[in-house]
């Protein structure tokens, strides 16, 4: 059984690493903050001293970091993965970053005889804890075949969608759909509430029809409870939509609805709500209509 390195123990990374330990994998972990490293080490992992140290001790290295700059620093920077990794190893970046950044990092690693997969996830903290994430993978078939069982510990579905970068293109598509779903749900429920109709009953009436969605089922109970604890933070969804806009602009693809939802999220960030769950998008509409969607 391969020894796995795990770099990035945040809201998502920490439970993902713990699931690998529960499945019996030997794990070396690293984060810039000592507290989560110590916590995961108490459950059986070994503590790494740097990304370079983790890479030198493992055959498969997983990164789960906030955005492209952090992944580049952890992999290509001083004391980065590239300085310790051995030929024949595999890097699996499970962060949600720009597809072109994945391609750039992969090209650098290829010079050392290392294969890379970009494998972003969807499902938020609850599914990270349960090990039921949706994992979208780009990269060589050989590398995918080698680590599919590892990814299967963290995800209910693991799908290779194409070459390097295509995992993150798929994630951007996912994030556009999720953002627009939450915005539509927010508009609709604020309208229903302002009209004097119980939003919980509206939810129950429409969830089994064409308007029903996994997004609605996940976010509507939180909205009704006024619970905007992440989950998936608005500031991270802003990052994903900015990556989507950059990628779309480079490809010559207009995405006007995404840009509108991005601006709504930016307004909430200015209002001090950046760390709210993205279901908190409803607060923008509530403020406009002077009504709250609650049970």
Cα 119 off chain centre by: 10
φ, ψ for residue 290 (rounded to 5)? 55, 50
Contact assessment for residue 66 and residue 42, using Cβ atoms and an 8 Å cutoff:
no
What positions carry a catalytic annotation? 171
Contact assessment for residue 134 and residue 123, using Cβ atoms and an 8 Å cutoff:
yes
Instruction: Take residue 241 and report the two structure tokens written for it.
Output: 């939509």
């Amino acid at each position: 059984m391969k020894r796995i390195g795990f770099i990035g123990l945040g809201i998502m990374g920490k439970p993902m690493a713990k699931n690998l330990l529960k499945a019996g994998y030997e794990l070396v972990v690293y984060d810039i903050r000592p507290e989560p490293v110590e916590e995961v080490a108490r459950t059986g992992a070994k503590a790494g001293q740097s990304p370079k140290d983790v890479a030198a001790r493992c055959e498969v290295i997983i990164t789960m970091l906030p955005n492209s700059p952090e992944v580049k620093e952890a992999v290509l920077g001083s004391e980065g993965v590239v300085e310790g990794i051995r030929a024949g190893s595999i890097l699996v970046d499970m962060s949600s970053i720009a597809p072109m950044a994945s391609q750039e990092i992969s090209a650098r690693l290829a010079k050392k005889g290392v294969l890379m997969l970009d494998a972003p996830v969807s499902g938020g903290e609850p599914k990270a804890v349960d090990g039921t994430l949706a994992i979208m993978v780009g990269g060589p078939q050989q590398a995918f075949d080698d680590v599919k069982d590892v990814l299967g510990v963290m995800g209910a579905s693991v799908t290779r969608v194409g070459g390097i970068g295509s995992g993150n293109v798929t994630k951007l598509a996912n994030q556009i759909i999720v953002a627009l779903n939450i915005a539509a749900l927010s508009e609709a429920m604020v309208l229903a509430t302002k009209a004097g109709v119980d939003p919980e009953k509206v939810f129950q009436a429409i969830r089994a029809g064409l308007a029903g969605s996994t997004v609605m089922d996940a976010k509507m109970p939180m909205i009704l409870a006024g619970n905007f604890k992440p989950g998936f933070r608005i500031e991270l969804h802003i990052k994903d939509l900015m990556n989507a806009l950059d990628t779309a602009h480079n490809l010559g693809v207009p995405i006007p609805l995404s840009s509108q939802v991005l601006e709504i999220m930016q307004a909430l960030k200015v209002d001090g709500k950046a760390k709210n769950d993205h279901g908190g998008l409803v607060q923008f509409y509530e403020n406009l209509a002077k009504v709250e969607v609650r049970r």
